[in-house]
Amino acid sequence: MTNPTSFEISGNIVDLINERIFPGLVTVKDGKISSIIEMKNVDNQYILPGLIDAHIHIESSMLIPSEFARLAVVHGTVATVSDPHEIANVLGIDGIRYMICNGKKVPFHFYFGASSCVPATVFETSGASLGVAEMEELLKMPEIKYMSEMMNFPGVLFKDKEVMEKIAIAKKYNKPVDGHAPGVKGDDARKYIQAGITTDHECFTIEEALDKIKWGMKIQIREGSAAKNFDDLIDLLETHPEMVLFCSDDKHPNDLVNGHINQLVRRAVARGFDPMLVLKSCIINPVNHYKLDIGLLRQGDDADFIIVDNLNDFNVLNTFIGGLKVAENGNCLIPSVKEAEPNNFHAVKISVEDIFVPATSGEIEVIRAFDGQLITEKYLALAKISDGNIISDTENDILKMVVLNRYQKAKPAVCFINNFGFKRGAIASTVAHDSHNIIAVGTSDEEIIQAINLLIDAKGGVSLVEGDENNILPLPVAGLMSATDGFEVAMAYDKMDKLAKGLGSELGAPYMTLSFMALLVIPALKLSDKGLFDGTKFEFTSLFKN
């Protein structure tokens, strides 16, 4: 990029440190703020520090970091606190190093964590494992700012030796530990937090959040493509603003094109919250918590700031990082980076017979998915049987779901799910938290198999089959991301999303919802490549009524 790094710009200065707004002139020299002076007759715009996503998996955007940055800066985001947990499950430390290296190739602040739970559980097959030695190797790296979400909350509560050793290493390097403890309250929350866990983005009720705050935990209000907790938790900003951070957790590319943390700022201000309070939560709070080296619009700081039209509509006019103008009036000014495409994919094609479910009982356990939530419910339902095989029942919206090991030849696991709403066709994806095996759901065995085999041919991506029509968006980087132009990927994914909804689904994000149906650490019922899993009891369970 050839943008000049020495210039002057005037407007209403939003001083978050001193909680004041004043007309002024900002002078930038060699990428740093050399002076800020008060003056009259400034341009009718607001200058403030850039926005920060306090917890996100970059991989969920289906873009490598350099392409994620190109979409995010348009919305005033200058930094992310990023958990590379997804690529770590596929490629281990090499995957994390890939993310760090690629992120350094663009003007954007990526702060990566050491993924603490790889694999997330022993009840699924992943492509890598990060133990205590790997945590030490990662946490001593200056690029690693924290230990990312400790999903094994039972291990913390029962003081599992390896879990406690990992937390001890984070403390040794004075790096915070992120949490992941959905529904944990009371004495269990106290024990979890006092072990050294500092944040949680999994709260879905304000009661749970308040219970954790009283023990000193910070709450990351999440609003992503699948899980949406903003409306339930935003009132924390009124009572505990210093304990609130904003995050998206998972953001699909078509959603990222439309907005990022700026959308949450706009919504919070529209709810009547003081813009100063809102902005401190999504800028100052993450900077202080994670000790981030981001400019905060002070003399001597790096020139990391944004310009917006006003503090209500919050339309981002310009984004500067290190004095470089990286976005202007909705247009990204960062060029794409050519990048390698590492992967770990060894699945073998399967046939219809492989997902045959013999009808040994007339009743089956069914997963009930919810729009905008990672949690599920389970219930008993009558099975639809054809020639001794339990099949999808579109009339009652009970569809067959399959998870297939993508790392080696294996027998697929099969169960049934409610609330996808498909009347025809099937979809499949290699984005399947946390181990990223192949996951598929559909109305017929034949279409499910075709959707899966399309992904095996491509070694990763998202696919859709409707009759003889095949559609696929390849994701060749670890089966999770594309290294091609992010805006083009967003358009391609938007097409896939619309096609999926066209099959009859009313879900806001069918592919994102599907990706979490293999996430075993979130109750109540999920499916891994090894079988149906009861997340409440934390053990495998039978498809059939016991």
pLDDT for the residue 226: 77
Domain ranges of the chain: 11-332, 352-540
Lowest mean pLDDT, pick from 4-13, 399-408, 456-465: 4-13
- Mean per-residue pLDDT, 410-427: 98
Mean pLDDT of 502-526: 93
Q: What is the pLDDT of residue 3?
A: 58
Average pLDDT over residues 511-527: 93
Q: Average pLDDT for residues 170-179, to the nearest whole number? A: 98
CB atoms < 10 A from the CB of 539, how many?
9
The length of the chain is 546
Q: Is 264 exposed, middle or buried (0-12, 13-18, 19+ CB in 10 A)?
A: buried
Split at pLDDT 50, 70, 90, the class of 225 is confident
Q: pLDDT by residue (tens digit) across 304-313?
A: 999 999 999 9
The predicted-structure confidence for 259-282, as pLDDT tens digits, reads as follows: 999 999 999 999 999 999 999 999
Indicate the pLDDT class of residue 116, thresholds 50, 70 and 90.
very high
Q: Is the pLDDT of residue 5 over 80?
A: no
Residue 372: per-residue pLDDT: 78
pLDDT at 374: 85
Q: What does the pLDDT average to over 49-78?
A: 98
- What is the pLDDT averaged over residues 32-46? 95
| Proportion of the chain above pLDDT 70, given as a percent | 99
Contact 432, 409 (CB under 8 A): no
More confident residue, 360 or 490: 490
**258 CB-near residues (< 8 Å, 6+ apart):** none
pLDDT value of position 154: 87
Q: What is the pLDDT of residue 373?
A: 83
Q: State the Cα–Cα distance between residues 221 and 162, nearest whole angstrom.
A: 29
| Single-letter amino acid code for the residue at 277 | L
Distance, CA of 293 to CA of 338 (rounded, Å) = 27
Instruction: State the DSSP string of 82-127.
Output: E-THHHHHHHTHHHHHHHHHHHTTSSSEEEEEE-S-SSS-SSS--S
Q: What is the pLDDT of residues 469-507, one digit of tens each?
A: 999 999 999 999 999 999 999 999 999 999 999 999 999
**pLDDT for res 1:** 57
Phi-psi region of 467 (alpha: psi -120 to 50; beta: other; left: phi over 0): left
Q: Specify the CATH number of the domain 11-332.
A: 3.20.20.140
222, pLDDT greater than 80: yes
Q: Name the one residue in this structure whose structure tokens are 């590379």.
A: 84
Average pLDDT of the chain is 96
